[in-house]
Structure 1
Amino acid sequence: MPDRARIAVKDLVATFPNVPRFDGEDDIDPAAISKEAIAKFGNTLAREDWEVFSSLFVGESWFKDWLTLTWDKRTISGSQEIVEAWRDLYPSRRPRCFEPTANWMPTTYKRSSDELAYLTTCFTFSTEAPDCRCVGTLYLVPICDERGEVEWKIWQLVTMIIELEGSPFREPQNRLQEHASSGTNEDDGIERGRPDYHGLPPPNLSLDALVVGAGTGGLNSLIMLESAGVKSLAVETTPSIGDKWGKIRYAPLILQNPKFQMQLAQSPVPHEFPQYMPAKDFQRYHHLTVEKLRLPTYPGVSVEKTHFDKQKQRWLVQLSDEVNKGQTVSIECRNLVLCTSYYINDLRPAIPKLRDEKLFGGNISHTSSYRSPDPYNDKHVVVVGIGASGHDVASDIVRKGAPRSLTMVQRSPMCIMDWEAMESLYFPTFDGTMPIHAADMVGATPLAVKKVNFAKMAISILEARRERCDELEHKGNYMINRTPCFVTCLVEKRAGGYYPDQTRAFDLVLAGKIKIARGDAKAYTPDGLLIHHEGREENLKADAVIYATAYEAENIPESYAQTGFMDPESASMLIDVGKFGIDKEGEHPGYYTDSGHPHVFFGGASPNLARMMGRIVAAQVIADVRGVAPKRYRRE
Structure 2
Amino acid sequence: MATTLTGGSQHIVELPSTPSRSDAEPRAVAQQWLTNLESQLGHPETLSLAELFHPESWWRDMLALDWELHTKHSASQIQEFLRKHQGRAQLSKFRLQDKGKFQPRLEQVVDGLSWVSAMFFFETAVGCGTGMLRLTQADGSGPWKAYAMYTSLQELKGVEEPLGKRRRAGTTEPMPGGVAGETWIERRRRQAEFLDEEPATLVVGSGQAGLNVGARLQSLGVSCLIVDKNERVGDNWRNRYRTLVTHDPAEFTHMAYLPFPQNWPQFTPKDKLGDWFEAYASLMELNVWTRTSVVSAEYNDTAGDWTVIVARGDGSRRTLRPRHVVWCTGHSGEALIPSFQGQESFQGTVYHGSQHRDASETDVRGKKVVVVGTGNSGHDIAQNFYENGADVTMLQRRGTYVLTANKGVFMLHDGLHEDGGPPTEECDIVSESLPWPIQLALSVHLTRRIATADKETLDGLRRAGFQLDFGPDGAGIARAYFTRGGGYYIDVGCSQLIIDGKIKVKHSPRGISRFGPHELVLAEGETLDADIVVLATGYDNMRTTVRKVLGDKVADRCKDVWDLDEEGELNAMWRPSGHPGFWFMGGNLALCRIYSKFLALQIKALEEGLISQS
In structure 1, C-alpha distance between the alignment counterparts of 2:454 and 2:409, rounded to whole Å: 14
Letter of the structure 1 residue corresponding to residue 328 of structure 2:
C
1:167, CA displacement in angstroms? 1.3
Q: How many residues align?
A: 592
Aligned partner of 2:122 in structure 1 is 125
Aligned partner of 2:570 in structure 1 is 588
In structure 1, C-alpha distance between the alignment counterparts of 2:38 and 2:243, rounded to whole Å: 52
Q: Which moved more, 1:61-70 or 1:306-315?
A: 306-315
Q: What's the secondary structure of 2:264's corresponding residue?
A: coil
In structure 2, C-alpha distance between the alignment counterparts of 1:566 and 1:173, rounded to whole Å: 46
Change (3 A) 1:582 1:227: same
Contact 2:581/2:613, CA 8 A, preserved across alignment: no
1:556, CA displacement in angstroms? 4.7
Contact 1:172/1:227, CA 8 A, preserved across alignment: no
1:295, CA displacement in angstroms? 1.7
Unaligned runs of 5+ in 2: 1-5, 177-181
Contact 2:45/2:83, CA 8 A, preserved across alignment: no
Q: Does the alignment pair 1:435 with 2:423?
A: yes
Aligned partner of 1:426 in structure 2 is 412
Contact 2:49/2:75, CA 8 A, preserved across alignment: no
In structure 1, C-alpha distance between the alignment counterparts of 2:452 and 2:493, rounded to whole Å: 21
Aligned partner of 1:287 in structure 2 is 278
1:464, CA displacement in angstroms? 5.8
For residues 130-279 of structure 1, the aligned pairs below 5 Å read 131-144=126-139, 148-171=140-163, 175=167, 177-178=169-170, 180-184=172-176, 191=189, 201-202=193-194, 205-247=197-239, 249-279=240-270
Q: What's the secondary structure of 2:138's corresponding residue?
A: strand
Aligned partner of 1:378 in structure 2 is 366
Selected match of 2:329 from 340, 356, 360 = 340
1:134, CA displacement in angstroms? 0.9
Aligned partner of 1:3 in structure 2 is none
Q: What's the secondary structure of 1:260's corresponding residue?
A: helix
Selected match of 1:457 from 425, 446, 460 = 446
Aligned partner of 1:525 in structure 2 is 516
1:388, CA displacement in angstroms? 0.7
Q: What's the secondary structure of 2:258's corresponding residue?
A: coil
In structure 2, C-alpha distance between the alignment counterparts of 1:383 and 1:331, rounded to whole Å: 43
Letter of the structure 2 residue corresponding to residue 549 of structure 1:
T
In structure 1, C-alpha distance between the alignment counterparts of 2:112 and 2:437, rounded to whole Å: 18
Letter of the structure 2 residue corresponding to residue 590 of structure 1:
A
Q: Could you give the per-residue CA deviations for residues 304-338 of structure 1, whole angstroms, max 9, x where no partner exists?
A: 222334454332222210x222x012232222222
In structure 2, C-alpha distance between the alignment counterparts of 1:625 and 1:506, rounded to whole Å: 50
TM-score of the superposition, structure 1-length normalised?
A: 0.86
TM-score of the superposition, structure 2-length normalised?
A: 0.89
Aligned partner of 1:115 in structure 2 is 112
Contact 1:384/1:409, CA 8 A, preserved across alignment: yes
Contact 1:97/1:126, CA 8 A, preserved across alignment: yes
Letter of the structure 1 residue corresponding to residue 38 of structure 2:
G
Q: Could you give the per-residue CA deviations for residues 84-104 of structure 1, whole angstroms, max 9, x where no partner exists?
A: 111221221211111112468
1:382, CA displacement in angstroms? 1.6
1:66, CA displacement in angstroms? 0.4
For residues 300-379 of structure 1, the aligned pairs below 5 Å read 300-321=291-312, 323-325=313-315, 327-341=316-330, 343-345=331-333, 348-374=334-360, 375=362, 376-379=364-367
In structure 2, C-alpha distance between the alignment counterparts of 1:154 and 1:351, rounded to whole Å: 47
Q: Does the alignment pair 1:30 with 2:26?
A: yes
Unaligned runs of 5+ in 1: 1-6, 194-199
Q: Could you give the per-residue CA deviations for residues 591-622 of structure 1, whole angstroms, max 9, x where no partner exists?
A: 22222234222222443311122111111121
1:482, CA displacement in angstroms? 4.9
1:41, CA displacement in angstroms? 1.7
Aligned partner of 2:179 in structure 1 is none
In structure 1, C-alpha distance between the alignment counterparts of 2:533 and 2:282, rounded to whole Å: 41
Q: Does the alignment pair 1:620 with 2:602?
A: yes
Change (3 A) 1:454 1:244: same
Q: Does the alignment pair 1:447 with 2:443?
A: no
Aligned partner of 1:398 in structure 2 is 386
1:9, CA displacement in angstroms? 7.4
Contact 1:189/1:202, CA 8 A, preserved across alignment: no
Change (3 A) 1:211 1:350: closer
**Larger RCO: Structure 1 or Structure 2 (Cα < 8 Å, ≥ 6 residues apart)?**
1
In structure 2, C-alpha distance between the alignment counterparts of 1:79 and 1:441, rounded to whole Å: 23
In structure 1, C-alpha distance between the alignment counterparts of 2:350 and 2:326, rounded to whole Å: 37
In structure 2, C-alpha distance between the alignment counterparts of 1:169 and 1:336, rounded to whole Å: 22
Change (3 A) 1:385 1:192: farther
In structure 2, C-alpha distance between the alignment counterparts of 1:390 and 1:314, rounded to whole Å: 42
Q: What's the secondary structure of 1:207's corresponding residue?
A: coil
In structure 1, C-alpha distance between the alignment counterparts of 2:254 and 2:506, rounded to whole Å: 38
Q: Does the alignment pair 1:17 with 2:16?
A: yes
Contact 1:273/1:281, CA 8 A, preserved across alignment: no
In structure 2, C-alpha distance between the alignment counterparts of 1:270 and 1:437, rounded to whole Å: 16
In structure 2, C-alpha distance between the alignment counterparts of 1:558 and 1:340, rounded to whole Å: 9
In structure 2, C-alpha distance between the alignment counterparts of 1:621 and 1:390, rounded to whole Å: 38
1:581, CA displacement in angstroms? 2.7
Q: What's the secondary structure of 1:89's corresponding residue?
A: helix
Q: Does the alignment pair 1:604 with 2:591?
A: no
1:587, CA displacement in angstroms? 1.6
In structure 2, C-alpha distance between the alignment counterparts of 1:39 and 1:232, rounded to whole Å: 41
Contact 2:404/2:454, CA 8 A, preserved across alignment: no
1:11, CA displacement in angstroms? 3.3
Aligned partner of 2:77 in structure 1 is 81
Superposed CA RMSD in Å reads 2.8
